[in-house]
């Protein structure tokens, strides 16, 4: 697998559209481009733990967070649609001038054989964050985090809630440490870089106008529907991915112990509790994920 240098992280301005998505992407890029991540790639022959993760396993646990974010954007249809759009551009089906986006589309198409295929990406997600055990464990972890946001009864210490949280955190950390192997660590870096490259042209207004739409996710829905890619509600997937990434990054820093506590007066802890509540709200009870997109024909350009 060849790892091409990804485009630089997108700088997010407060008034920018899709600011939440781009902030989550910037966070994912900061993880996969960190020096510790490069060290993990260099030591690719590390052994997987048999029990609770050790402190040195943090890089592998951190890798699960951007992988989960990438998995959610895959379900939203982002990368499959970007690949279809780049193919249309390369075939000459898009006749409108696109300005700087033309170079971005050309580069994305040129690197198509260097990227993980849709099937390869799905295999990584299935092994790490789409295993049947993952969703129930993520749910109880988020519920345990959210429980610490509520008021404590008079005289209560909250110790029970702290122990419950620590138990679920350790279970999830052990589960992920067994599944985030060296290939998954490398895949996270590559996939997040590809998402960054895809968003660089998919957000371009001239490209969206070529499809007679005025929004990134409307473009994804239109192209996806014509190509047989089920995207469902893209924004729900994005919210789920953003929130899940925040929770899993917290987990990487707090894999479990005798007790864990979150402080409702701490802005950082509030962010984690809000993310856990948003994740729970984005996943209806008893929901299951549909199969990924089938292979189909390219969509037509408006």
Smallest CA-to-CA distance from 74 within 105, 109, 120, 37 is with: 120
What b/e sequence results for 100-122 when a residue is b if at least 16 CB atoms lie within 10 Å of its CB, and e otherwise? ebbebbeebbeeeeebbebeebb
pLDDT value for 23: 93
Output the pLDDT for position 37. 59
Whether 70 shows a pLDDT value over 70: the answer reads yes
Task: Give CA–CA dist 221/177, Å, rounded.
Answer: 35
Confidence of residue 205 (pLDDT cuts 50, 70, 90): very high
Above 70 in pLDDT, residue 64? yes
Please tell me which of 154-163, 164-173, 257-266 the model is most confident about, judged by mean pLDDT. 164-173
pLDDT in tens, 79-99: 999 999 999 999 999 989 999
pTM of the predicted protein model: 0.82
Q: What is the pLDDT of residue 60?
A: 82
**pLDDT score recorded for residue 287:** 56
Average pLDDT in the chain: 81
Question: Is residue 251's pLDDT more than 90?
Answer: yes
State residue 200's pLDDT score. 95
Listed ranges 105-109, 222-226, 228-232, 296-300; the one with the highest mean pLDDT = 105-109
Residue ranges per structural domain of the chain:
19-282
Q: What is the pLDDT of residue 67?
A: 96
**How far, in Å, are 64, 72, 91, 267 from residue 178 at the CA level?**
11, 21, 43, 31
Largest CA distance in the chain: 71
Round to whole Å and give the CA distance between 296 and 229. Answer: 8
């Amino acid at each position: 697998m060849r790892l091409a240098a990804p485009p630089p992280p997108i700088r997010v301005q407060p008034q920018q559209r899709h600011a939440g998505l781009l902030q989550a992407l910037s966070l994912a890029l900061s993880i996969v481009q960190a020096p510790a991540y490069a060290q993990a790639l260099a030591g690719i022959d590390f052994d997987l733990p048999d029990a609770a993760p050790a402190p040195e396993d943090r890089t592998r646990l951190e890798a699960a967070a951007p992988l989960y974010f990438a998995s959610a954007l895959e379900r939203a249809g982002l990368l499959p649609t970007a690949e279809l759009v780049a193919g249309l551009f390369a075939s000459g089906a898009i006749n409108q001038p696109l300005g700087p986006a033309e170079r971005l589309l050309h580069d994305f198409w040129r690197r198509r054989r260097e990227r993980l295929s849709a099937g390869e990406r799905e295999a990584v997600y299935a092994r790490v964050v789409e295993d049947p055990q993952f969703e129930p464990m993520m749910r109880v972890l988020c519920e345990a985090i959210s429980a610490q946001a509520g008021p404590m009864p008079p005289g209560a210490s909250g110790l029970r809630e702290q122990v419950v949280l620590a138990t679920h955190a350790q279970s999830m950390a052990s589960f992920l440490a067994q599944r985030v192997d060296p290939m998954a660590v490398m895949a996270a870096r590559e996939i997040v870089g590809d998402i960054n490259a895809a968003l660089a042209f998919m957000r371009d207004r001239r490209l969206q106008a070529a499809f007679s739409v005025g929004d990134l996710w409307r473009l994804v829905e239109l192209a996806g529907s014509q190509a047989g890619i089920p995207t469902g509600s893209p924004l729900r997937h994005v919210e789920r991915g953003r929130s899940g990434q925040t929770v899993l990054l917290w987990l990487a820093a707090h894999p479990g112990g005798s007790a864990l506590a979150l402080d409702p007066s701490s802005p950082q802890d509030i962010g984690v509790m809000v993310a856990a509540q948003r994740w729970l709200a984005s996943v209806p009870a008893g929901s299951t994920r549909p199969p990924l997109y089938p292979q189909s024909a390219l969509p037509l350009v408006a």
